[in-house]
Structure 1
Amino acid sequence: MIMISNYIYEKELLPIDHQLQVFIAVAERKNFSRAAEDLHMTQPAVSQYIRSFEESIGVRLLERTNKYVRLNRAGEIAYHHAKEIVGLYSKMHNLVDDLANKASGSLTIGASYTFGEYVLPHILSKLVAEYPSIEPSVTIGNTADIAELVISHQLDVGLIEGHFKEATPLQNENFAEDAMYVVASPIHPLVRKKGRLSIGELSNDLWLLREEGSGTREAAETFFSQSGFRPARVMQFSSTQPIKESVEAGLGISLLSQWAIQKELRHGELKTLPVKGTPFKRNFSIVTNSPFQTKALQVFIDLLKNNEDLTVLNQKNSTNMK
């Protein structure tokens, strides 16, 4: 079963970490009854686990009233490390189990928005068809958030665009190339202009950009820097879809991945502008945080590196840009 969510949460309790799992469930659900339902436990049992966990830590971790259950400062610290401990324990369990078994079990995948929304579904379809015993779960977020989840062992692997400005413990390997284009509404006055455009001709346009921490935003900033250009007006969005809708409506222009705009180009809803310096090239990277890999992770990475679908999609996109 594939689960797509904004956070990773393992419902299956592991023998050595019942207290951690129950604590995580209560912290995320903010309710003892809902946590008990998720864990297939009684509410008194959940309450007992929380009391025992707080006694073992030596401080209260949750503030409780008739209206809410929420983490206090000590609880926030405990929750952060509990997630990391559970992630490491699950990884250890899977690696040891792999020694005697074929590729199977859970695989937690993180992906930045562009790859996660427009490319990863094709890869997952093939993975599930060829390895039905692997159970992937997917978290979509910006590059910085996905990297942080891999660093804290809450994800087995991250698929991101962009670079890290600070040193991290992550292993980083490029596996696919992306091409980015300046896109505009079909009624933009420069759509029918012949020849290449200088980026200076777009100085009066409103640029619709992703948020800080996004690989797409980083690519746009690099493109501007290399072009010696700084947009006078910028509007920021937290995902790509509303940017595309806004560009189509004539609100402004943007620099977007070929993966994200192929359908709109095919239907004539967006147009690319032939701006000097485009297509702007960048790489997608695989990031991991362990020298050991489960068989499930190994086959997934091999599928990414050798998947013909990426080549086919690239060829389709290149045709659509012409």
Structure 2
Amino acid sequence: MARIDDISFTLLNTLVAVYETREFTAAADELGIAQSTVSKRIATLEDVFGLSLFVRRSKSELLPTPAGRRLYSSAAGLLQQWSDAVYHMSANNFQKTPFSLLLSHTASSTLLPQVIQGMQSSLDTTDFSAHTMNSEQILESIVKKHAHMGIVEKPMSTDVLRLDVLREDRLVLAGDYRQHRGMGEHGHPARSDSGASSTTSSAFPGEGEVSPDALWLVREAGSGVRYFTDLFFRTVGLSPSRVVELDSNEKIRSVLASGVGCTILSQDSVPEGIATVDLGDSFIRHFYALTPKTGLNPDQRMLVEKIITLLR
């Protein structure tokens, strides 16, 4: 029978990997060892404490027991302290710190310039990169530790991630939602006068006010703004028949700027000259920062805090 003295960082690292991936196979891939070795290490920990740490939810997915959650919390903190100690004793910490930031499409267009401006003093010592994905892809990447931080447009979290609330983002109805099939008057797309500033109405369109023939420009499922687009459809009792799905806000902005279609979009992203409708408090959302609870070195954690401060 295994004893408390038999517990090593190796066993605790394995526990953390299984807890965060919820799979023996995924944990084995992350650690670069055989799945059978992962199973044996978890069995050793269960033998030491006389407690079950995980139960099977399905053929591939594991759920932590209360004992598993307690041990994970303690092990993660202990391993982080040890990792920090090793980092500060290593000559490698004089090299540039890698830092990969993932942003949703709206965050990329509205927040990234401020992030880079605020990060300038850190760029001499940071190997910084930024990539754009939809919110679901960002969540998956941060959980798998393929990046160090993500900024999304809806509250997404698991118990292996830290979630921080950032600034507000107001969504509006942009474009001609009353436009009927075909083109606007005189054969041209209906839009505000060329070169005019965007105008905003505060009258939320009621049921029946949105034309069933309006052309809707929508993001793909899994994006932050798509959730609110579907919420708007439900609110006004609309099942649009003319929908174009686009995989980036820039594509939507480009089509919208030509005077074609309507969409739900961040107010800060609406092209010049496109009329908007304020949709009220239900369509004010926040940006959120996602970071892994384990695996970041001290310099990376400092960068996380700096970005959170910049964007609050």
Question: Quick check: 1:162–1:219 contact (8 Å CA) kept in 2?
Answer: no
Name the CA distance, whole Å, in 2 between partners of 1:85 and 1:214.
Answer: 31
Contact persistence 2:219–2:248 (CA under 8 A): yes
| Superposition pairs of residues 117-128 of structure 1, within 5 angstroms | 117-128=109-120
* 1:198 maps onto 2:187 in alignment: no
Unpaired runs of 5+ residues, structure 2, are 1-25, 33-79, 177-188, 193-197
Alignment of 1:271 with 2:275, yes or no, is: yes
RMSD between aligned residues: 3.6
Residue 218 of structure 1: which of 218, 227, 234 is its match? Answer: 227
Q: 2:216–2:262: 8 Å Cα contact kept in structure 1?
A: yes
Secondary structure at the aligned position of 1:254 is classed as: strand
1:303 Cα deviation (Å)? 2.3
Check 1:158–1:82 CA distance in 2 against 1; reply closer, same or farther (3 A cut).
farther
In structure 1, the residue matched to 2:167 is 176
Structure 2 residue identity aligned to 1:140: T
* TM-score normalised by the chain length of structure 1: 0.57
Report if the CA contact (8 A) 2:101-2:148 is conserved. yes
- How far apart are residue 174 of structure 1 and its match? 1.4
Distance 1:222 1:195, change over 3 A: closer
| Counterpart amino acid of residue 202 in structure 1 | V
Matched residues, number: 219
| Range with bigger deviation, 166-175 or 144-153 | 166-175
AA at the equivalent of 1:120: L
Deviations 1:262-296 (Å, cap 9, x if unpaired)? xx23xx3x22134x437821111111222464233
In structure 1, what is the Cα distance between the partners aligned to 2:191 and 2:297?
A: 50
1:203 Cα offset (Å): 3.0
Look up the match of 1:99: 88
Q: TM-score, structure 2 length as denominator? A: 0.59
Query: 1-side partners of 2:159 and 2:216: how far apart?
Result: 31
Question: 5+ residue gaps in structure 1?
Answer: 1-79, 312-322
Contact kept, 8 Å, 2:160 with 2:292, in 1: the verdict is: yes
Partner of 2:132: 140
Q: CA deviation at 1:187?
A: 3.5
2:152 equivalent in structure 1 = 160
**Share of identical aligned residues, percent?**
22
Given that 1:181 and 1:278 are in contact with CA atoms closer than 8 Å, whether structure 2 keeps it comes out as no
Instruction: State which structure, 1 or 2, has the greater radius of gyration over its C-alpha atoms.
Output: 2
Query: Once the 2 structures are TM-superposed, how far is the Cα of residue 102 of structure 1 from its aligned partner?
Result: 7.7
> Which amino acid in the other structure matches residue 277 of structure 2?
L
The amino acid that maps onto 2:265 is: L
Instruction: Tell me the alpha carbon deviations over residues 46-65 of structure 1, each in whole angstroms, 9 at most, x when there is no partner.
Output: xxxxxxxxxxxxxxxxxxxx
Residues 1-322 of structure 1: pairs in structure 2 closer than 5 A: 84=30, 95=84, 98-100=87-89, 104-164=96-156, 169-184=160-175, 187-188=190-191, 196-200=203-207, 201-204=209-212, 205-261=214-270, 264-265=271-272, 268=273, 270-274=274-278, 276-277=279-280, 280-291=283-294, 293-307=296-310, 310=311
Contact residue 110 and residue 157 of structure 1 kept, 8 A: yes
How many Å separate the matches in 1 of 2:103 and 2:254? 22
Which amino acid in the other structure matches residue 241 of structure 1? E
**Contact 1:143/1:213 (CA < 8 Å) preserved in 2?**
yes
Q: Separation in 1 of the partners of 2:246 and 2:220?
A: 6
Flag the 1:213–1:250 CA change in 2: closer, same or farther, 3 A. Answer: same
Q: Deviations over 1:31-56 (max 9, x none)?
A: xxxxxxxxxxxxxxxxxxxxxxxxxx
In 2, Cα distance between the equivalents of 1:292 and 1:193? 45
1:173-224 CA-partner distances (Å, limit 9, x unpaired)? 21221111111169448x9897624143223311100001111111222333
Deviation for aligned residue 1:144: 0.8
Distance in 2, matches of 1:215 and 1:132, equals: 33
3-state SS of paired residue (1:99): helix
Inter-partner Cα distance in structure 1 for 2:250 and 2:128: 24
The answer (yes or no) to whether the contact 1:95–1:293 under 8 Å persists in 2 is: no
The separation in 1 between residues aligned to 2:309 and 2:232, in whole angstroms, is: 29
Does the 8 Å contact 2:246/2:252 carry over to 1?
A: yes
